[in-house]
Amino acid sequence: MFKRAYQLRSEVIEELKELGLAEGALKQLKTLAAEHTLDRAEMTSRLKGVDALDEEEQKLVLKYSRLSLLRLESFIRDRGLREWIEALLFAVLIALFVRGYIIAPFKIPSGSMIPTIHVGDYIFASKFDYGIQIPFTSTRLFASPIQRGDIIIFPNPEDRSIDYIKRVVGLGNEELLIRNNQVFINGQPLDEPYAYFDPDTVRAMDSQGFKPPPFGPVKVPPGSLFVMGDNRFNSADSRVWGFLEASTVKGKGRFIWWSHNPNAGLLSGYDLGRVGTVLK
């Protein structure tokens, strides 16, 4: 469908005439004019037989006789408009492909991942880390396993129209227990330098003698994940809605490309120091 083809149509002859091609060359080209299309080798061979054309003029004829990849000539006669529309369509297709299979932007509306990701951060997530999904199927090519500590994008299990971003804490077949804000995996404490416990909340809990209730132990099912927000006192995650199916993960958070506090005005609230921050 997208193989380049060439055709010496009557309108091409007229365009070449306007460009100042010699009358003798135009007469010979008219004898080559045809309704059917040729590939580049065939067209080049025929043009070499036109003795009135020098090498540069042959290149010019090739350029103007080349059909658009989408064969727009049949309903758009203006060459400039055809080229503009074709470029626009391919740009859209490339953008859709990149967003669907390579990298996609996401805006962070909540503080569940503070301090790693702030409210108003815009991030890019790669969509190929865990394999390239074949359209309309659950099959992934070149699949690689999700790792503990990965920051992942996935549809909210309770409302799939909303995307969530959390960190992977527990993997399939592991036993997980949370006690006194410490996560244990298979009985071993998990080192979590990213976990954040709001100091004001901690002080308020201590003043009231409140201890967070333990969670678990629970066994993470095969093919599932236990995910949590870094902001442990302000995150709706697997502690609330349960395990996440690993197959629903859309991508892996990579870096922040823009940051603007949504509560600030248009002229303020920008945090350019966060731009380019790699998510860890």
- Which residues are part of the catalytic machinery? 112, 166
253 and 104 Cβ atoms separated by less than 8 Å: no
What are the b/e assignments for 91-104, b being 16+ CB within 10 Å? eeeeeeeeeeeeeb
CA distance 251 to 101: 9
Phi then psi for 116, rounded to 5 degrees?
A: -65, -45
Cis peptide preceding 115, ω within 30 of 0: yes
Which residue in 43, 31, 60, 58 sits closest to 5, CA to CA? 43
What are the b/e assignments for 192-224, b being 16+ CB within 10 Å? beebbeeeeeeeeeeeeeeeeeeeeebebeeeb
CA distance 183 to 116: 18
Q: Which residue type occupies 149?
A: G
Measured between its terminal Cα atoms, the distance across the chain in Å is 44
State whether the Cα torsion 66-69-72-78 is positive or negative. negative
Q: Which residue has the tokens 């090498």?
A: 55
